[in-house]
Amino acid sequence: MTYKATLQYLFKQLPMFQRVGPKAFKKDLKNIKKLVATLDNPHKKFPTIHLAGTNGKGSTGHMIAAILQASGLKVGLYTSPHYRDFRERIKINGKYISKKSVVHFVAETQPHFKTIKPSFFEITVAMAFDYFEKQQVDIAVIETGLGGRLDSTNVIKPLLSVITNISFDHTNFLGNTLKKIAKEKAGIIKKNTPVVIGEYQKDPAKVFKTIAKNRNADLTFANKKWKLELIKETPTTSTFNILKSPSFKQQHTNLKKITLNASGPFQKNNLITTLEAIRVLNETSNYNITNTNIQKGLKNLIELTNFKGRWYVESTKPLCIMDSAHNEGGLKINMKRLKEIPHQQLHFVLGMVNDKDPGKILSLLPKSATYYFAKANIPRGLKAEKLKDAARGFKLNGKAYSSVKNALAAAKRKATKKDLIYVGGSIFVIAEVI
């Protein structure tokens, strides 16, 4: 098959959660174990760092990868979902997996599909493991897709587990309380393996402490160890003073200031999680990551890792911000920041998926904004008219549009130079216009 035909096969023939939702979700690890066994278990042949959490996994994973790359390592990075290019999911030192490798992998493993019946996600996870092993990466950063305990990536035995935070998302799979969600995410905590939790939250912390103790896993809460102060922010960078930090092994001086090649209200928390993850990795492994490596990696985040999709500033007059936050935790932070940005009128291009309760998101959004409702171009996309009707119940008013591009074009036509445009609600909305 050609690359185009291979992608069509992957997208249309296989159950894909991003497109069809719950019916693509697998409730155990049997399939992925069978699939990687046919490949001689490539995931056992290189060291890994495993990431879970409701928000910030992607950003944190890219930051960790950038620092490791700046340390001279060949670094694999597996993330999901993708925005535009399927190959965004599988990168080595920021470079996408080749089209030839995608075609070859599917052709070689397809004979096993009839008996194993893997999902789209299971195949992409196996593809990443196989590619990283063949390319002989020094280490790989692996992000979970959904949850942790039953996630297809959870066949690895990492050097370090990282859980960013816990908020309400995918409650139909993970549970309807923070404790239940935390228990699922905590499934990535392994025996005798250190774990870093990004944010201390009372109820989830109890779950993490209990499971870590039972598995003899040393646990730290990053935001208990670090304190950062944002001192300067541009559309593409954030500079922080480090007010509090633990000592790094083999370092003569502690870090004092860091410039990050990314901006947005959530990046401080992600940076704190990243710094603690690197510190623990230094303490518990043979890696010797220096302050210079950390600063160089973070300052060149986009160049090193091809990072995209978070708090992307598309234009400045009017200021147009695109962000893939799609649950309560992420959107609460974003809405707070939008209030702090000087502007006359807020124009909000909004789309959502149809298997989540829109009310929980709509209740967080500003009533004073002008809304442009749109359906993302995937089967899971919530119809624009339905979203508009649901929003009306929360006193959010606007018009429905036939596509995300048309909605954004309308917002740009109506916005003055002093207005603010925000595009969000779903990663699939951003994917169409980024």
Which domains are present in the chain? 3-305 (3.40.1190.10), 312-431 (3.90.190.20)
For 33-49, b/e burial (b = at least 16 CB within 10 A) is ebbbeebeebbeebbbb
Q: For residue 5, what are the contacts with CB-CB under 8 A and spacing of at least 6?
A: none
Give the C-alpha separation, 77 to 92, whole Å.
6
Cα(49)–Cα(161) distance, integer angstroms: 6
Q: Which of 356, 363, 365, 358 is nearest to 334 (CA)?
A: 365
What predicted TM-score, i.e. pTM, was given to this entire model?
A: 0.91
Backbone angles phi, psi at 360, to 5 degrees: -65, -35
Going residue by residue through the chain, which has 434 residues, state the pLDDT in tens, using 9 for 90 and above. 899 999 999 987 665 555 555 555 556 799 999 999 999 999 999 999 999 998 899 999 999 999 999 999 999 999 998 888 999 999 999 999 999 999 999 999 999 998 998 888 999 999 999 999 999 999 999 999 877 888 999 999 999 999 999 886 555 556 668 899 899 999 999 999 999 999 999 999 999 999 999 999 999 999 999 999 999 998 889 999 999 998 766 565 678 999 999 999 899 999 999 999 999 999 999 998 999 999 999 999 999 999 987 899 899 899 999 998 878 888 999 999 999 999 999 999 999 988 788 998 999 999 999 999 999 888 889 999 999 999 999 999 999 999 999 999 999 999 999 999 999 998 889 989 98
